[in-house]
Amino acid sequence: MITRRAAGAAIAAAAVAGLASGCLSSTPSTSSNNGAAASGAGKSTVEVMYGFSNEQETAFQKDVNKYAQSIGVTVKFTKAGSWDTEINARVSGGTPPDVGLFPQPGLMCDLAKQQKLIPYDDATVSTDKETLVNGFVDAGTCADGKVYGLPSSVSVKSLLWYDQAAFKAGGYTVPTTLDELTSLTDKIRGEGKTPWCIAAESGQATGWPITDWIEDLVLRYAGPDNYDKWVKGELKFNSPEIKPAFDYFQKIAFTDGNVRGGTKAIVATNFQTGGNGLFTQPPGCYLFKQATFIAAKGGFPDNVVANLDKTVGVTAFPAKTAGDNPVEAGGDLAAAFNNDANVLKIRNFIASKDNGTEVGKAGYFSPHKTFDASLYPNNTIRTIATDVLYKASVARFDGSDLMPAKVGAGTFWTEPVKWISGQEDETTMLDNIDKSFPKTSS
């Protein structure tokens, strides 16, 4: 009896030990040297990690592989399903990739501060600066004044979408200033129609589309310098510079009859399909603000996407004064974790104006003004590139991505949602966001 019990215990314990040893044996074999010293000739395999997918991923791999082959380097592509989580895990586990494409500079600068990243050399920065849209180099500059990331491909957020036919039928003109936008809104509402579709439901990220609205308005009302201060927490949400942005949004979104489904519908309507009202008969709404991605599959209805150029109208989100058009963008910043000659070559290529041919064909923008716009797949994308992105007076990255996560992925989403769904007023919302802003600036 005793022997049988012992054997049972032994098997159970052996299973535990087996599991444990199984875990140990699965430790990644790749380990990269994080030291400052360049490792001479350069690695033959460079790992590039990113968070995008689908056509963008395939096109990006094609572009990078073509270059890598020319310098005799093999590139190992790693896709992170959830970028922040995975890159944090890799870095804290001591096995970061060689090159990472950060979807926003916030986390990148955090890692730069921990000295996990290699800055760009001055020559590369000044070459890229010549062709980059004004403001993108600043976006990748961290607190120590060094440039750690430069964008490879960007998306444009400051866009106003409409339906060409509906606009023509109504006899409306495309607004170029915020005042014109207000009067157009009033005009459409005056005709008994609903001017706006606003949609901010995004599952666990509900609220972020509102931040894009506010950021664009802050960029316009407060200007790029104040925008930067606001993002860093030096200007409060309830300051006289920033509050007008919320006031303008309130005028658009809270006025009875302005938004399809009423104010309460904003936080319940999905951001992907929320603009589909533009194309119903009769139109459910006439104006919709959303980033470029909305004009692809999954966004506007399939029959609209199939006939994009003939159906969809797009223009820069109106400026405060006509012509001075700041653009809010998102993008992937290439940064290096490894001071190795080949790693730096790959990183510098990814950020250079020579990169992006295939990515451009797939409909993603190069941040370089010299990019051959004829490569873009359709007129809508081309219009956005030439009329909005490359004509922009200044570009700024998505501010909520740059703010401390507590605000940028926290209260800046949740508090406006409470405001819009009527749980609190504007002042309370602004005060709550300010209160949540971490005291120590990074």
Partner 1 sequence: MVIKILNALIAIIGGIGGAMIIFWILNKLAESLKGKWEDRVKPWMFAGPAILAIGVYLIYPAIVTIQYSFANDQTTAYVGVQNYVDLLTDSTFLQALFNNVLWIIIVPAATVVLGLGVAVLADRLNPGGEKFSKTLIFLPMAISMVGASVIWKTTVFDYQPAGTPQTGLWNAILGLFDKGPLSWLQTDTLHLNSLLLMLILVWSQVGYAMVLLSAAIKGVPEDTVEAGRIDGAGERRIFFSIIVPQIWGTIVTVFITVLIGVMKVFDIVYVLTNGQFNTDVIGRRFYDELFTFRNNGYASTIVVILLVAVIPVLVYQVRHFRAEEAAR
Residue from 382, 414, 434, 437 that binds partner 1 (CB under 8 A)? 414
Among 71-79, 132-140, 362-370, 399-407, which window interacts with partner 1 (CB under 8 A)? 399-407
Q: Which residue lies nearer to partner 1 by CB, 90 or 260?
A: 260
Among 116-124, 126-134, 298-306, 414-422, which window interacts with partner 1 (CB under 8 A)? 414-422
- Does 12 bind partner 1 (CB under 8 A)? Our answer is yes
> Please, are residues 424 and 418 in contact by the beta-carbon 8 Å criterion?
yes
- Does 269 bind partner 1 (CB under 8 A)? Our answer is yes
* Subset of 24-53 contacting partner 1 (CB under 8 A): 25-26
Read off the tokens for 441: 């600036």
Q: Which residue lies nearer to partner 1 by CB, 194 or 292?
A: 194
Nearest to 88 by CA among 75, 72, 100: 100
Read off the tokens for 69: 């082959």
Neighbours of 245 (CB within 10 A): 22
- Does 272 bind partner 1 (CB under 8 A)? Our answer is no
Read off the tokens for 71: 């310098």
How does 372-399 read in b/e, with b if 16+ C-beta sit within 10 Å? Answer: ebebbeeebbbbbbeebbbebebbbbbb
- Alpha-carbon distance of 106 to 108, in angstroms, equals 5
Pairing of strands 150-156, 99-102: unpaired
Q: Give residue 53's identity as a one-letter amino acid code.
A: S
Read off the tokens for 373: 């716009």
- Alpha-carbon distance of 125 to 106, in angstroms, equals 19
Residue from 184, 267, 304, 381 that binds partner 1 (CB under 8 A)? 267
- Does 205 bind partner 1 (CB under 8 A)? Our answer is yes
- Does 16 bind partner 1 (CB under 8 A)? Our answer is yes
Binding-residue pattern over the window 174 to 203 for partner 1, x denoting contact by CB under 8 A: -----------------------x---x-x
- Does 404 bind partner 1 (CB under 8 A)? Our answer is yes
Kind and range of the H or E element at 376?
Answer: none
- Does 15 bind partner 1 (CB under 8 A)? Our answer is yes
Neighbours of 1 (CB within 10 A): 5
Among 135-143, 237-245, 256-264, 343-351, which window interacts with partner 1 (CB under 8 A)? 256-264
Q: Cβ 405 to partner 1, closest distance in Å?
A: 5
* Subset of 124-163 contacting partner 1 (CB under 8 A): none
**Residue 173 burial (10 A CB sphere; 0-12, 13-18, 19+):** exposed
192: region left, alpha or beta (phi > 0 left; psi from -120 to 50 alpha): left
- Does 21 bind partner 1 (CB under 8 A)? Our answer is yes
Q: Cβ 21 to partner 1, closest distance in Å?
A: 4
Residue from 34, 39, 65, 88 that binds partner 1 (CB under 8 A)? 88
Binding site for partner 1 (CB under 8 A): 6, 9-22, 25-26, 84-85, 88, 197, 201, 203-207, 260-261, 264-265, 267-269, 276-277, 280, 284, 404-406, 409-410, 413-414, 417, 421, 423
